[in-house]
Chains A and B, each alone.
Chain A
Amino acid sequence: MSIDQSTAAKVAKLARIKVEEEALPALANEFNTILGFIEQLNEVDVDGVEPMTSVTPQRLKRRVDEVTDGNQQDKILTNAPDAREGFFAVPKVVE
């Protein structure tokens, strides 16, 4: 499988990373090098093998479904690049 420039542009878009037009050929090349390396996995017979979901056979613990913290709006907003009136502020999303 080979990645062309338009696929590289599509991946950048999906990842929400702006890549300039002129950087796309080099990026596509790097992807192809890495994916070429990954292609080795096709040599492995994985018929009937379960994909791993948890590396240690542990059951996730359960807890009572109740609120354990909260009321820290100011702390949550402390590091925001733009916070106004108790909210995160972003460019207009809905017209």
Chain B
Amino acid sequence: MTDLNKLTLSEARDALRKGDTTSVELTEACLKAIDGAGVLNAFVHHTPEIALERAKAADARIKADDAPAMCGLPIGIKDLFCTKGVDSQAASGILEGFKPEYESTVSQQLQDAGAVMLGKLNMDEFAMGSSNETSVYGNAVSPWQREGDSTQLTPGGSSGGSAAAVAADLCLAATGTDTGGSIRQPAAFTGITGIKPTYGRCSRWGVVAFASSLDQAGPMTKSVRDAAMMLEAMCGHDPKDSTSADLPVPNFEAMLTGDIKGKTIGIPKEYRMDGMPAEIEKLWSEGAEMLRAAGATIVDISLPHTKYALPAYYVIAPAEASSNLARYDGVRYGQRSPLDAGDGITEMYEKTRAAGFGPEVQRRVMIGTYVLSAGFYDAYYNRARKVRTLIKRDFEEVFAQGIDAILTPATPSSAFGLGEMIDADPVQMYLNDVFTVTVNLAGLPGISVPAGLDSKGLPLGLQLIGRPWEEGDLLNTAYALEEAAGFVAKPGQWW
């Protein structure tokens, strides 16, 4: 077999079980692809020894007919996940050299399911960013380029390394995390599939915390089937995360029938933003038409508080971040700045955090500090939490009217060039998450499915939003959309 790294998870699984290839061969193909893709800066910590050791163990299990669901499949892990004995620094300078003594629940579950970790993937620092430009490792670069233009583009963020690695076939799939769109936006920018499950589906234990009430892990894959397969391995109750749900995890892959007859899909009018590119608008109506042709009923709906999701997010997420990131104080782990004579503990904190955090992280920690400070807590933080209640209520009302899923664009544009947003104010960058952030605020599952190319030849994605805990149904609708859209484009290899 050639180009083993280009296989999907499910194709590779089937090939392994038929004995057409081995996990060691798959892993070696990915390691070779990674070695040749240094310019993409997707993998930032390489673990080939661990990979080959796990691949050998997987091959033995397959031989012994004892292969769990992900047995022998090589994947990448976002740097936000703590991995035992392997650098885990959330793309931040403050955690340089940090090697956890423990493994995150999600990466442990993937390992238990037989998956092979190839290494750690680039991301925005502490998952704060939409272009992977806030990383201490430097930018991750998209494998996609505009037609006839060699400008380096962003793979999106914060899971930019994951998106670039999957789109460039450096691994079969990768883990991502999503606080405001960090799985779905990069998936859309790179022509891959990414799902953020319902809040509480995946354990957050061992995942470096950004905004605890919004953070969820999820898979980033080459197909909806792969997303179903990998999500099942990642989900489940974990006593170590009190917010993880004690609910049975269905066999998501078995729910992919492609039959969506009788389903009702909502099209929210508030997502038709001023200045939205015509191409996105067109793709969105084509997507609705595809679902209609597949037997679904398309209904116009209203989610009236949509406009306030992004401002509410930029109160709640920084507030939680300022609290979560208080732990980086130069005492227990990571870096401590050199001190001058006479410096006390306050100077140690202030110097360590000024040197260790990048500008965007500093900005968000300080905004969070401000909105939580005496005198402003009610005006900002409590008001934002009330608006969050209203945003969730919008969704509850449309679901109560019988809507099964909601179709929206995934992003307001295709991928932009690295550095192109450098002079924009921070709010311009935040607008990337305008279609995805509502889903985190309401705790719902959302999936981005590649659906077409724009006039520059860059991928565009559509987002489907589902009812809480109904990822299986959502994945099935996404599967129907994937089949109808027939997106097969791949980036030309320039690297």
A and B held together in a complex: yes
Interface residues, chain A, with chain B CB atoms under 8 Å away = 3, 8, 11-19, 27, 30-31, 33-35, 37-44, 46, 49-56, 58, 60-61, 63, 72, 75-76, 78-82, 88, 90-93
Pairwise interchain contact B336-A51, C-beta atoms closer than 8 A: no
Across the interface, do B385 and A90 meet the contact criterion of CB distance under 8 Å? no
Contact-size category for B: 35 or more
Q: Which of A13, A41, A79 contacts B98 (CB 8 A)?
A: A79
Would you list 10 pairs from A and B whose C-beta atoms are within 8 A, ordered by A residue? A14-B369, A15-B353, A15-B365, A34-B363, A34-B426, A40-B311, A41-B312, A56-B243, A90-B348, A91-B343
Residues of chain A within 8 A (CB-CB) of B329 are: 16
How many pairs, one residue from A and one from B, have CB atoms within 8 Å of each other in the complex?
168
Most B-side CB within 10 Å, residue of A33, A46, A72, A78:
A46
Residues of B within 8 A of A (CB): 97-101, 198-200, 213, 239, 242-243, 245-246, 305, 307-308, 310-312, 314-315, 322, 326, 329-336, 339, 343-351, 353-354, 357, 362-363, 365-367, 369-371, 373, 380, 382-390, 392, 425-427, 430, 441-443, 468
Q: How far is it, in angstroms, between the C-alpha of A88 and the C-alpha of B332 when the chains are bound? A: 7
Q: How far is the CA of A91 from the CA of B350 in the complex (A)?
A: 13
On whether the beta carbons of B349 and A55 are closer than 8 Å, the reply is: no
Q: A12-B366, A33-B426, A91-B348 are in contact. Are A44 and B390 (CB under 8 A)?
A: yes
Contacts of B245 in A (CB 8 A): 56, 58
| Given contact pairs A30-B363, A30-B426, A91-B345, A55 touches B353 in the complex (Cβ within 8 A) | no
**Across chains A and B, which 5 residue pairs bring their CB atoms closest together, nearest first?**
A55-B443, A51-B385, A81-B336, A79-B333, A18-B350
Say what secondary structure dominates the interface of chain A. Answer: loop
**Is the Cβ of B425 less than 8 Å from the Cβ of A33?**
yes
Most A C-beta atoms less than 10 A away, residue of B336, B366, B389: B366
Cβ contact of B365, chosen from A17, A37, A56, A78, cutoff 8 A = A17
Q: Do residues A82 and B336 form an inter-chain contact, with CB atoms below 8 A?
A: yes
By beta carbon, the residue of chain A nearest B376 is A1
Among the listed B307, B350, B382, B383, which residue makes an inter-chain contact with A16, where contact means beta carbons less than 8 Å apart? B350
Nearest-Cβ distance from residue B243 to partner chain A, whole angstroms: 7
In whole angstroms, what is the CA distance A38 to B425 when docked? 14
Is B365 a contact of A41 with CB atoms below 8 Å? no
Q: B386 and A56: CB pair below 8 A?
A: no
Min C-beta distance of A82 to chain B, whole Å: 7
Which residues of B are found within 8 Å of A46, using beta-carbon distances? 383, 386-387, 390
| A38 close to B332 (CB less than 8 A) | no
Counting chain B CB atoms within 10 Å of each CB, the highest count among A37, A50, A81 belongs to A81
Which chain A residues lie closer than 8 Å to B363 at the CB level? Answer: 27, 30, 34
* A85, B427: Cα distance in complex, Å: 48
Does A81 contact B239, Cβ atoms closer than 8 Å? no
Min distance, Cβ A11 to any Cβ of chain B, angstroms: 5
Given A75-B101, A79-B333, A44 contacting B305 (CB threshold 8 A): yes
A93 → B minimal CB distance (Å): 5
Rounded to whole angstroms, the CA-CA distance of A44 and B304 in the bound complex is 11
Cα A72 to Cα B310 in complex, Å, equals: 42
Chain A residues with Cβ below 8 Å from B427 are 33-34, 37
Shortest CB-to-CB span from B447 to chain A, Å, is: 18
Cβ–Cβ < 8 Å partners of B350 in chain A: 13, 16-18
Contacts A16-B350, A52-B389, A52-B392 given; indicate if A38 touches B198 (C-beta within 8 A).
no
B199 neighbours in A (Cβ, 8 Å): 55-56
Contacts of B442 in A (CB 8 A): 55
Indicate if the CB atoms of B314 and A18 lie closer than 8 Å.
no
CB distance from B340 to the nearest CB of A (A): 11
Beyond A44-B387, A55-B213, A72-B101, 8 extra complex contacts between A and B, CB < 8 Å? A17-B354, A17-B362, A33-B425, A44-B308, A75-B101, A79-B100, A92-B345, A93-B344
Residue numbers in B under 8 Å from A56 (CB-CB): 198-200, 243, 245, 443, 468
Residues of B with C-beta under 8 A to A50: 386, 389
Given contacts A11-B373, A16-B346, A56-B198, contact A88 B392 (CB under 8 A): no
Tell me, rounded to whole Å, the shortest Cβ–Cβ distance linking A29 to chain B.
9
Closest A residue by C-beta to B312: A41
CB distance from A16 to the nearest CB of B (A): 4
Residues of chain A within 8 A (CB-CB) of B345 are 90-93
Which residues on the A side are within 8 Å of B198 (C-beta)? Answer: 56
How far is B348's CA from A44's CA once the two chains are assembled, in angstroms?
Answer: 42
Whether A81 lies near B311 (C-beta < 8 A) is no
B331 contacts A88, CB within 8 Å? yes
Partner of B349, one of A16, A42, A61, A79: A16
